[in-house]
Amino acid sequence: MDFTLSEEQKIFQTTIRDFAKRELQPIAQSLDESEDFPFESLKNLGKLGVTGLTVPEEYGGSGGTRIHWCIAMEEVACACASTATVLDTSMGIGGHAIKLYGSHEQKKKYLTPLARGEKIGAYSLTEAAAGSDPSLVETTAVKDGNSYVLNGTKIFCSNGDVADTLVVFATKDKSLGHRGLSAFIIEKDTPGFSAGRIFKKLGIRAAHNAELILEDCRIPAENLLGEEGKGFRVALSVLDSGRIGIAALAIGIARAALEASIAYTKERRQFGQPIADFQVTQFKLADIAMGIDAARLLTYRAADLEDKGLPFSTEAAMAKAFSSEVAMAAATEGLQMHGGYGYMMDMPIQRYFRDAKITQIYEGTSEIMRVIIARNLLR
């Protein structure tokens, strides 16, 4: 077993890290305060090849691996978790759904501009009554000749108000539960489709989160993604992949919290010495470092399994649950080490604290991750 990155992967990591520190980190705090969507950052990530990292060259990508995706997500998130969330939504789940289940024509039309960073993607499954349980989706899709007519309301759609291409889930019959679910590709200018209110969030504030409204939204039948009635499979498999990206994102936040805490504790002096000299501080830093390393290994294992075409659902759930909890612990302990200054809004540790929490919730809560792990153990 090889636990080290290849020379090519190390060069790639350095390239993304340098870009993130130079272009993303300096504006992260201002984006958080203004809640301005990072359009320019996403375009620049496209020029760097990150948006199309795991997409075949035929469709505008660079044909990289999921390990490459994890490396990129960690580095982007360490600099700006909002931008990492936007990237994950656009390509980690939105574009990835089209990559996995789209026809050649759908990939050419929709995946290619997403991979190049020319357009923004989104993925919308959640509704007011359907969160952890997708079988409760109430948005309907009725076949009408060569079209489908969609009606319903979605919530918490990341990138929802700015996305050009959205993967939306709807059912042909609510009584069928998950067996009625299908996935559809919707373009933002489609009549009957609109973004509703933009939700105000605790963290990742520059990554917009919107309500979607579908009122007799008519889309061509060729925009069905995958097979009719097989949307549940689409949703679960895409979320399995997406959880690997969120795990890497959480590691990035944890690393940012650790780096900030190391720097602060070396500078902050109490009782005549830097607080980094106190054993209690050293133990906290050591625990965070151990957690990050373990989380990264879990995440890379899941990514490697996906790259090899092997089952990875359990491993992705483990990586996502563990990494998100490491991020929350790193930010919490980091804030504590900063003392009163950590509670002030001009210190970045408070942003890491706010950003970390969502990693335990979106793309499957920590509780649902444990359900998945236990269910697979007990088969």
Lowest-confidence region among 131-145, 154-168, 353-367: 131-145
Last residue of a domain, one of 120, 150, 173: 120
Do the domain assignments include residue 185?
A: yes
Strand 273-274 and strand 269-270: the pairing is: antiparallel
Last residue of a domain, one of 120, 148, 169: 120
Do the domain assignments include residue 2?
A: no
What is the structure's pLDDT at 134?
A: 86
Lowest-confidence region among 138-147, 172-181, 322-331, 336-345: 172-181
Do the domain assignments include residue 1?
A: no
Specify whether the CB–CB gap between 61 and 55 falls below 8 A: yes
Do the domain assignments include residue 340?
A: yes
Domain check: are 77 and 178 in the same one? no
Do the domain assignments include residue 139?
A: yes
Residue 24 confidence class, pLDDT cut points 50, 70, 90: very high
What is the spatial distance between Cα 40 and Cα 122, in angstroms, rounded to a whole number? 17
Check pLDDT > 90 for residue 375.
Answer: yes
pLDDT tens digits for 44-100? 999 999 999 999 999 999 999 999 999 999 999 999 999 999 999 999 999 999 999
Domain check: are 109 and 221 in the same one? no
Mean pLDDT of 121-147: 93
pLDDT tens digits for 90-102? 999 999 999 999 9
- The CATH number that applies at residue 329 is 1.20.140.10
Domain check: are 93 and 20 in the same one? yes
Domain check: are 244 and 357 in the same one? yes
Domain check: are 259 and 359 in the same one? yes
- Determine whether 227 is an active site residue: no
Do the domain assignments include residue 42?
A: yes
Domain check: are 295 and 261 in the same one? yes
**Catalytic site residue from 33, 105, 363, 367:** 363
Last residue of a domain, one of 100, 120, 140: 120
Domain check: are 37 and 105 in the same one? yes
What is the structure's pLDDT at 322?
A: 98
What is the structure's pLDDT at 177?
A: 87
Domain tally, the chain: 3
Mean pLDDT, the chain, as a whole number? 96
Cα 356 versus chain centre, distance: 12
Domain check: are 95 and 157 in the same one? no
Do the domain assignments include residue 176?
A: yes
Mean pLDDT of 351-360: 98
- The CATH number that applies at residue 13 is 1.10.540.10
**Which domain range does residue 14 map to?**
7-120
Domain check: are 15 and 111 in the same one? yes
What's this model's pTM, rounded to 2 decimal places? 0.96
Domain check: are 179 and 220 in the same one? yes
- The CATH number that applies at residue 186 is 2.40.110.10
Domain check: are 180 and 197 in the same one? yes
Phi first, then psi, for residue 229 (nearest 5°) are 80, 0
Token pair in block for residue 202: 């605790």
Domain check: are 50 and 173 in the same one? no
Do the domain assignments include residue 203?
A: yes
Mean pLDDT of 260-284: 97
